[in-house]
Amino acid sequence: MQLPSLSVLIPCYNGLPFVLDAVRSVLGQWEAGVECVVVDDGSKDGSAAALGSVSDKIKLIAQANAGPAAARNRALAESTGELIVWFDADDLLVPDTLALRRKAFADDPALEMLVGVNEIFNVDTGERYCSPPQAACDEHYLINGLLARRHLPHLNAITFRRSALDRIGAFDANLPTAEDYDLWLRAWSRLRWRFVNTIASQQREGSYESATRRRGMISKYRDAEKVLTKNRPMLREVLGSDLPWRKAFASWAMDVALLLLKNGQHKEARYWSLRAIATRGVGVEARAYKYLLEGSLPSWLYNRLRSVSRSAARAAWEG
């Protein structure tokens, strides 16, 4: 049986020292038909020079900083594999995963996207957990997982058939963040996918700054709103109703309203509370009116009430 060729695509921006381990996790399972393309996205920490000395097997491309979506798209354009694995510069592929992924596609010519498990481990505490769990990845995953923003997948553990990406498109370079969420919505709406309950990648997290711990949560939430709005017509067509989108958007608006409240931006919190109410997302009305009321309070009073509420909850728990 001939296995399809596979490209591992790694965008890197100031990835030292982790990117060297990421590349070595690919080289450790190197075989005919596998290639590794690394795009250094304007790093200033010497990543490009360090990568150039690791192995002549990797294809290293340097470009001016353009953001993660543009770097991933550049890597795709420079690759040749029939299968595509996008991989973060600070994470690890587990041994033998590339051979298993290639075999899965060889066994099923109609398969367009293979989804595995990503193991997340804290480099400071040693704590480990997996995402997404098997129970979440059923036929309702688009609504109960992606739109609900629960049990989200990880690019590291997903393998795409190139022809499928040609059909749905790759990353939206206009999105500074949430570009992966945009791709997931399109992929789960349009592609024939399968979930395997096998750890395919490992994601490091901890006290260090990394590609998976970007700053600016409010900005990231705003990009998620752009993604939801952009994909609304497609989701309505695929799901046969606008209700799942309305519920997802209202829930998102409530999350961003709470984030803004905690950040002292009460006027904007009131705006998004009203947007949630206007969207008519079933099940969020009480929460929306609560945040609308809290957004009308002075910041000092809101913070005082939150402090009292937390103290009461702690006392009830300890009691």
Spatial separation of the C-alpha atoms in residues 7 and 264, rounded to whole Å: 46
DSSP tag of 13: S
Range in 113-127, 143-157, 194-208 the model is least confident about: 194-208
Is it the case that residue 219 has pLDDT exceeding 60? yes
Is it the case that residue 211 has pLDDT exceeding 50? no
- Listed residue (14, 8, 116) closest to 68, CA to CA: 14
**68-78 and 179-190 helices cross at what angle (nearest 10)?**
50
For position 246, what pLDDT does the model report? Answer: 94
Instruction: Please give the C-alpha separations between residue 36 and each of 2, 9, 101, 103, 130, in angstroms, as whole numbers.
Output: 20, 6, 15, 18, 25
For position 282, what pLDDT does the model report? Answer: 66
Range in 19-23, 66-70, 260-264 the model is least confident about: 260-264
pLDDT-derived band at 73, boundaries 50, 70, 90: very high
Retrieve residue 178's tokens.
């949430």
CATH of domain 6-205: 3.90.550.10
Average pLDDT over all residues of the chain: 89
Spatial separation of the C-alpha atoms in residues 252 and 225, rounded to whole Å: 8
- Quote the longest CA-to-CA distance of the chain: 69
DSSP tag of 284: -
For position 300, what pLDDT does the model report? Answer: 75
For position 312, what pLDDT does the model report? Answer: 58
Radius of gyration (C-alpha) of the chain in whole angstroms = 21
- Listed residue (102, 147, 138, 108) closest to 246, CA to CA: 147
Give tens-digit pLDDT for 156-194.
999 999 999 999 999 999 998 899 999 999 999 999 999
For position 208, what pLDDT does the model report? Answer: 47
pLDDT-derived band at 213, boundaries 50, 70, 90: very low
Asked if 85 and 8 touch (Cβ cutoff 8 Å), the reply is yes
For the chain, the structural domain boundaries read: 6-205, 241-318
C-alpha 302: how far from its chain's center?
32
Spatial separation of the C-alpha atoms in residues 137 and 172, rounded to whole Å: 25
Give tens-digit pLDDT for 280-309.
766 677 888 899 888 888 877 777 777 766
For position 22, what pLDDT does the model report? Answer: 94
Range in 161-165, 198-202, 215-219 the model is least confident about: 215-219
Query: What percent of the chain clears pLDDT 70, i.e. is strictly above it?
Result: 92
For position 198, what pLDDT does the model report? Answer: 93
Spatial separation of the C-alpha atoms in residues 185 and 188, rounded to whole Å: 6
